[in-house]
Structure 1
Amino acid sequence: MNAWIELSYLIASSLFIIGLKYLGSPLTARRGNFLASFAMLLAIVATLLDQNIVNYQMILIAILIGSVIGVVSAKLVKMTAMPQMVGLFNGFGGIASALVSIAELFRLMRLDGPIAVETSSIIVLGLLIGGVTFTGSVVAFGKLQGWVRGAPITFKFQQVFNGFLVLCFVVGSFYLTFSDTNFWVFLGLIFISFLFGVLFVIPIGGADMPVVISFLNSFSGLAACVTGFLVMNNVLIISGALVGASGLILTQIMCKAMNRSLANVLFGAFGGGGTAGGSEGAALGDKTVRSIDTEEAATILAYAKSVIIVPGYGMAAAQAQHAVQSLVQELE
C-alpha cells in the first residue's frame, strides 16, 4: 500500500512540474491548468488513503465547501478582478499553513516529553510565513478592491516598530524552541505574525499590489513547503517549492518590466516621502488619474502627432485587442 502511495505522490509531483511548464505559454495554459488540477486531486486522494483519518465526514464536508467556493468564484469573478481573487486565495493558503502549525503544536503539547528543536523551529517558521501571507494578502485584496486606501499608509517610527516586532518574534521563537512550551508565548507569536503581515503591506501603494500579490504567492508556496516538512508529506514539499520559486520569478519579471527593483516596490514609501515610485516619483509627486469620454479621446487622438499604445493586463482582461487593432488602422 505504501508503495502505491509513494508512486501516486511521484506522479502528482511530476504532473505539477509539467503543468507549471505548460502554464508558461497561452497555447498550453489550459492543458497545464488541467494537469495541475488532476495532480492536486491525485495527491488529496493518496493522502486520504495514507493517513489515519479520524473523521472522513468532516473532511468531505470541508472539501465540498471549498470546491463550491472555488467554482463560484471562478464563474462569477470578472477577469479584471482576477488579481483580487488570486490575492485572497493566497491568504487562504497562508492561513491553512498557519493553522496546521498551530494544530501540530497543540497535538505535541498533549504528549509527554519535550518537543524536538527541529520540530519547534518548523512550527514557528510555518506560523510566521503563513500568518504574514494571510493578513498581507487580505490587505492587498482590500486595496485592490477599494476597501482600503490605496495610497501608502505610514506612521512615525514605523520601521522602528517593525524592527521591534521582528525582535520580539525572534526572542519568542528561541524561547519556544529551546525552553518549555508556553501557550501564551505561542499566542504572542501568532499575534505578531498577523500584525506584521498588515504592516508589511500597508506602506505599499495600490498600483503596486499586483507585484505584492505575486510576492505573497511565493510566500504561500514557502508556507506549504514548510507544512510539508512538518507533516512529512513529499508532494506538499515539492509543490510548495514550485509555487515559491515561480512566484518569486514572476515578481522579479514584473519589477523588471516596471524598471524598478523589488526593494523599491516594498520599501519605497519609507524613503520617498510616501511615494512608492522612488526618487523619480518623489520628484513628480502623486498624480490623480483623470477619466475622459470618447469625444475627448477622439479629439486628443485627432490632434496628436504621435500615439503610443502600450498593451497591458487591462486590455487582455477586457478582450479589447480587436478594438485596439481597429483604432490603430484608423490612426494609420
Structure 2
Amino acid sequence: MPEADTTSRHAALLAWAAERHGIAPAALDLRLAADDASFRRYFRLVLPDGTQRILMDAPPDKEDSAPFVAIARRWADAGLPVPDLYAVDLDAGFLELEDLGDTPLQHCFETSEAPITQAWHDRALALLDMLQNRADPAGLPAYDASLLGRELDLFTTWSLERWLALPTPPSWPALRQSLIDTALAQPVVTVHRDFDAMNLMVVDDELRLIDFQDAVAGPLSYDLISLLHGRYCRFSASRRHAWIEAFRQRAVADGRLDSIEPQSFHHWVACMAVQRALKVIGIFCRLTLRDSRQGYLARIPHFLDHLEDALAELDELADFRHWVADTLRPALLAKLAAQGITWEHVA
C-alpha cells in the first residue's frame, strides 16, 4: 500500500476508535501489532484504563472482511475458540477484536523433534478435531476443482514461468488432474485453509484460532497437512505417519470419515501435501513479484523439502519427483543464490 494511503488509513482508524470509545484521538495509544500476507494490518489499541484491543485495518477495496465476521460469529456460536468481536464497520474496513496477546504457537517450539514441539502439535491436532466436528461447512465456499486448479496454476505461472523461466514438465497435466481428483474424493469438512502455527495463538496455555476468513468446505486432510507440513517444522516420516494414522482413527471413530484402509488414507494425505506445497511455492513467488513483499523467497526451500517428502511416498509420481530433484531444485537454489538470498533448512 502506498505510504500516503497507509498514513490516511491510520488517521481514519484512530478517529474511528476514538469516536467509538468517546475518547480524544490524542488519548489513544495505537501501535502496529502485525502485518500479514494480504493487505490487512493489525494494531494494538490501549485505552486509558489499560484495556487492550486489536484493531484490524482491511481496506475494503482490497479485502472483504464480511467472511471473517460471519465465520467468527458462527464458530463462536459453535463453541470454537475464536476472538471476540467488539465492533465491525465493513464499509470502512475496520474491526475491533479481542486482544489475544503476542504468542503465536511457533514461539513455543524448539526443534522439530523436541518433546515440547510435538506436544504442542498434539494439542493443535485436538483443536483440529474440534473444528471439523463442530463447524458446519454449509455456507462456506466450495474447495472445488476450479479452486484447486487455480491454486496449482500459481506454481506454473508464478514460480516456473515468471520467476525461474522454466518450462512446465511433461507430466504436469496428468499430475494436476490427479491431485484435484484425489482431493475431491475426500470427505468434505470445514477447512481453515491456513491451519499453521502462526494462526494458532497461545492464550493462558490454550490455543485460539485466528486468520480464518478464507475458510472453505473441502478435503478432510487439508488442514492436517497445513500443520504437519507447516512453515516452522519438518518432521520425520515416522512421526508424521504416526500423527496421520491417529488422526484417521479418530476421524473414523467420530464419523468424519468412513472406514478406510490406512494405506489409502495416507495416499490422500501425501497427494494433499503435494498440492499444498506447490500452491505455497507459487504464492510466495507471487507475493514477491506482484506485490513486492520481502522475505518470502527465502522460505521456498523449506516448502520444497515438504514437497519432496510428500513425493517420496507416491510411487506413481516418480517422473515428477525426478524432475523436482534434477531440474526444479537446482534451478531454484541457483536463482536464490544469484539474488543473494540465504535460507536455512528447518531442523
How high is the TM-score relative to the length of structure 1? 0.27
Say which structure is richer in strand: 2
Bigger Rg over Cα: 1
Say which structure is richer in helix: 1
How high is the TM-score relative to the length of structure 2? 0.27
